[in-house]
Structures are given as structure tokens and as C-alpha cells.
Structure 1
Amino acid sequence: MYLFGASGHGKVIADIAAANDIKIKAFIDQDATKKECYGFPVLNHVPDDKEKLIISIGNNLTRKKIAEQIKNKIDVLVHPKSIISGSVKIEEGTVIMGGVVINADTTIGKHCIINTNASVDHDCVIEDFVHISPNSALAGGVKVEEGSQIGIGALVIQGIKIGKWCVIGAGAVIINDIPDYSVVVGNPGRIIKKNII
């Protein structure tokens, strides 16, 4: 397997691969100055050897742009110390970190990050390129649309819809639906500006 993105986030994904006995051949990075990351070589191009690949970049928009260019088969990585209901659907490119709990009938889209110790309850819908940050919690029936990030330790009550390309700040408590492109902070969460994509 290759990891596209030679950074700290990539190191965590490399550890998940190792925990699943998956061999990392190399990192790939567009920064030509990078030659090594976490003991692995760094290539400046995507090899044409049909090896599986994961995009190991934390930024949602960058991850989307790279995903639109990649032709390799994209894999899914799930940490063995996560708890995931058998009814959960997880699409390609998604990475589930250690300590995550995902409950019944939840759907996780493409190229998502469900980060360390996050909790996603029953019947949630997580669309493509979303990042659920460490220690955040979504109650049942929450929908998070494309490209949004739920910040570290944020809490979202049941049945809430968070629009596209939103940023929910660290520790925010979300008790109302959030429109597209909103940046939200505080308890209760309030919109402080609009994201420009």
C-alpha cells in the first residue's frame, strides 16, 4: 500500500496499516524536498504498479482534489481497536482511527477521517471528505454533509444536519441545524463567519 501525504497524519495511518499487518511500500508527496517519512521512502509521483493507496492528508479540500486525480485502487483502513457495528457502511478512502465507536445503520462516505476516540451514534450519515476530529461525538441521526469538519471535542445533538464545507470549532455544542459553509464556535454553537471554498 502507498500513503499519499508524508505528514503527521500519514504517520498515524501508517500505524493503523501496521496494526492490520498491511505493508507500506512508500509515502507519496508532491513536496520534492521530502525523501523520508516515519522510516519509509517518499516518492514524488504515484507509481504505476496497481498497488492500493490511501490519501493520508488531513485537509478535506486537499484530500478531495487529490482523490479526483488518483487512478489507483483506493482502500479503507480501520484500526483494530475501534468498535464498529456490522450494519455500518464505509466507502473507499475512509480511515477509522483507534478508539472510535460507530453504531448501527450509520453510513460513512468516501475519503472521510473518523479520528481518535470519536463517537458516531446510530443512523448517522457522514458524506464524502468529512473529518470527525478526536473526542467529538455525534448523537443518533446526525447528517454531516460533504467536506465539513467537526472539531476536537465538539458535541452534536440528535437529528442535527450540518451543511457542506462547514467548520465546527473545538468544543462547540451544536443544538441547531447548520447551513452550508458556516464556521461555528461556542456553547451553544453560533455562526461567526462563512467559509470561502
Structure 2
Amino acid sequence: MSTDTFFAHETAVVDQGCNIGPGTKIWHFSHIMSDCKIGEKCNIGQNVVVSPGVVLGNNVKVQNNVSIYTGVICEDDVFLGPSMVFTNVINPRSAIVRRDSYQETLVQQGASIGANATIVCGNPLGKYCLIGAGAVVTKAVQDYALIVGNPGRQIGWVSEYGHRLEFNEQNSATCPESNQIYKLDGQKVVRIK
């Protein structure tokens, strides 16, 4: 299926009532469900499900085998690694319908989630944070935080380009790729240049 504004592979299923931005590509065996919103220039890999009510900003990259459940909101430039997992109910039971208990998970601008990571619902992920492969996020994540392990724990900070930041005695650090300067202020990192 190809339209004037976005591309969907012939094996993809795109339900009526979706809002899909120009330049977006949807690949093999993916299912885009009604009432979701996908921004411009997104890339949806193979075997991806985007559930009703999901919002993806512009330039979101979704790798293969990811299910994005109702309640998930991804801002611009988010990266979702292969086979990473979102949840949307804290205490699921097969015999009990909990559609009214879905929790929101906000993934803020520029955040990256590594392959096979799990994000427990209701925990916002800060701007440009980096969630390591296989990590299990069970609490809110700060902007620029580097999270690894199970349960996920913060082991440092990263730049907007994804490089680990090494802070000097003045609590400043420079990204080796972009030369952006960051300041550590207590337990918070901000970009100052």
C-alpha cells in the first residue's frame, strides 16, 4: 500500500481512522490500529503493533517486534529498540477486563530504549535518556539518565548524541561528538550550550 503521503508494505494492515504523517514508512506484517497518531518521517519496522490511542511524534524509529500499547505517548526523535516491551496495566489478569486501568507512559523527546528492555507502565522517561538493552524500568527516569539492569538503575548520564558524560570538578561535561556542554546541578543534568 502506498499513498501520496506515507508508505505501507503490502503485508501491513492499516486500519481506518489512523492519522499518519507524510514520509512515514510502515514495514512487513505490522498492524496500525484505528485512532492512533503517527507523525512525520517515522519508521515502523516489521511485526510492529500500534494500538488505538497511541501517539508517536515525528521521526520516531520503531525497530522490529515492538508492541506499542494504548497509553503510550512518544515525543519526537524517540528510538524503540528491537523487541523492547511496553506494558499498560500494573496487575493484568486474563479473566478480568482492565481497559479502564490503562496507565500512560510518556517517552520524552530524543529518548532511546535498547533491545529487549521492558518499560513498566506509568513511568515517564525523560528527554534524551538512554535505556540499556534488557533493562527493566520500574520508576521514572530523568532527562539524560543512563539506565541499565534489572531492576533498572541509573549508572550515569548521556548527551543528546548518546555519549556518556564525564563531569569535571566544576560539574560540567562536553559531548565528544557535538561539543555540547552539560551541567550537573545536584541530581539533574541540563544542556547549557
TM-score (norm 1): 0.62
| Map of 1:184 onto structure 2 | 147
| Map of 1:172 onto structure 2 | 135
| Aligned mates of 2:77, 2:158 — CA distance in 1 | 16
Segments of 4+ moved more than 6 angstroms? none
1:118 deviates by 1.0
Aligned pair count reads 130
1:163 aligns with 2:87: no
Instruction: Please say which structure displays the higher CA radius of gyration.
Output: 2
| Aligned mates of 1:110, 1:91 — CA distance in 2 | 4
1:119 deviates by 1.5
AA aligned to 1:182 is A
- The partner residue of 1:152 within 115, 130, 138 is 115
| Map of 1:97 onto structure 2 | 45
SS at match of 2:155: strand
Mapping of residues 106-125 of structure 1, within 5 Å: 106-125=54-73
Identity %: 31
| Aligned mates of 2:159, 2:126 — CA distance in 1 | 14
| Map of 1:78 onto structure 2 | 26
| Aligned mates of 2:122, 2:8 — CA distance in 1 | 36
**Structure 1 unaligned runs (5+)?**
1-16, 22-72
| Aligned mates of 1:89, 1:190 — CA distance in 2 | 31
- Structure 1 pair 87/18, CA: closer, same or farther in 2 (3 Å)? closer
1:79 deviates by 1.5
SS at match of 1:135: coil
| Map of 2:106 onto structure 1 | 143
| Aligned mates of 2:106, 2:113 — CA distance in 1 | 12
CA RMSD between the two structures = 1.9
CA contact (8 A) 1:122 1:139 kept: no
| Aligned mates of 1:74, 1:106 — CA distance in 2 | 17
| Aligned mates of 2:112, 2:8 — CA distance in 1 | 26
1:123 deviates by 1.6
Deviation per residue, 1:72-105 (Å, 9 max, x gap): x951111241122111100001010101112120
AA aligned to 1:79 is W
1:131 aligns with 2:94: no
| Aligned mates of 2:10, 2:76 — CA distance in 1 | 24
Deviation per residue, 1:45-65 (Å, 9 max, x gap): xxxxxxxxxxxxxxxxxxxxx
CA contact (8 A) 2:66 2:82 kept: yes
1:19 deviates by 3.6
| Aligned mates of 1:147, 1:168 — CA distance in 2 | 12
1:166 deviates by 0.6
SS at match of 2:139: coil
AA aligned to 1:195 is V
1:158 deviates by 1.2
AA aligned to 2:25 is L
- Structure 1 pair 105/146, CA: closer, same or farther in 2 (3 Å)? same
TM-score (norm 2): 0.63
